[in-house]
Structure 1
Amino acid sequence: MLTSLSHSALQDCRRLFLRNYEVLINIGVHEFEKKGEQRILINVDLFIPLALSTPKGDQLDEVVDYDFIRSTIARRMAKGHIQLQETLCDDVITAMLEHPKVRAVRVSTEKPDVYADCDAVGVEVFRIKGGM
């Protein structure tokens, strides 16, 4: 996915990020997964044009607030059980792109506790608003 981060539509953007946001959610397709929560790590990169995110007065309303990222994720978590990490990524990325200042988004999710012989299993999605 790193090659997508050098896309020409992002050259005039600032990148905001949320790293390893840990949530406990009910996620999975197997019956045992539907009976309890699993630990998920969520990573988000927002790409915002510099023209829309360069503060002139050092005020929060001049930029995209980090709380937007966390509250958007929290709203998705509140909807209940999710079967697939792909669905979670798609839902979060769609909601992030609804922000008028956001041009592109990268979202990844990881299940760090699934297999003992690896760090995590996960999914990553990258989208640019309007298919630029």
Structure 2
Amino acid sequence: MHSQITHPRLLDCRRLFLRDYEVWINIGVHDFEKKGEQRVLVNVDLYIPLALSTPTADTLEEVVDYDFIRRSVMDRVKQGHIHLQETLVDELLRTMLAHPRVRAARVSTEKPDVYPDCDAVGVEVFGIKDNA
């Protein structure tokens, strides 16, 4: 997922991203999908104001740790079955926006093994905080 920062409220932000994070998750509405896990690719972009993410002492505490993104995805995967990709991306978006330094986020999921004649089917959602 490539992103252009075009929203005026994101011009003073840096973008952190997790690209093509492959997870195996029990996801789907069909009976055959409920019997096992499927491969899902997760992409996350976080937009963090430069004022909250520009290190002066070169320490991890001064920035948003990439582990937050990855761990949040894994925590949701471990919770068990989910029917819809839409639900998954909405939940992950809420988690990302709950971080106090994050102003906006984009989350997408792709199921690359659903159809043999296309790369993937997926869902993407974007959110921006009103007060950040």
CA apart distance, 1:4: 7.6
CA RMSD of aligned residues (A): 1.8
Q: How much identity, in percent, do the aligned residues show?
A: 69
Compared CA separation, residues 122 and 131, structure 1 to 2 (3 A): farther
Determine the structure 1 residue equivalent to 2:23: 23
Structure 2: segments with no counterpart, 5+ residues: none
Determine the structure 2 residue equivalent to 1:43: 43
Compared CA separation, residues 3 and 77, structure 1 to 2 (3 A): closer
Compared CA separation, residues 3 and 78, structure 1 to 2 (3 A): closer
Q: TM-score, normalised by structure 1?
A: 0.95
Compared CA separation, residues 84 and 99, structure 1 to 2 (3 A): same
CA apart distance, 1:130: 2.3
Determine the structure 2 residue equivalent to 1:76: 76
- Runs of 4 or more off by more than 4 Å in structure 1? 1-4
Q: TM-score, normalised by structure 2?
A: 0.95
Determine the structure 2 residue equivalent to 1:60: 60
CA apart distance, 1:54: 0.2
Structure 1: segments with no counterpart, 5+ residues: none
CA apart distance, 1:131: 7.4
The separation in 1 between residues aligned to 2:24 and 2:3, in whole angstroms, is: 31
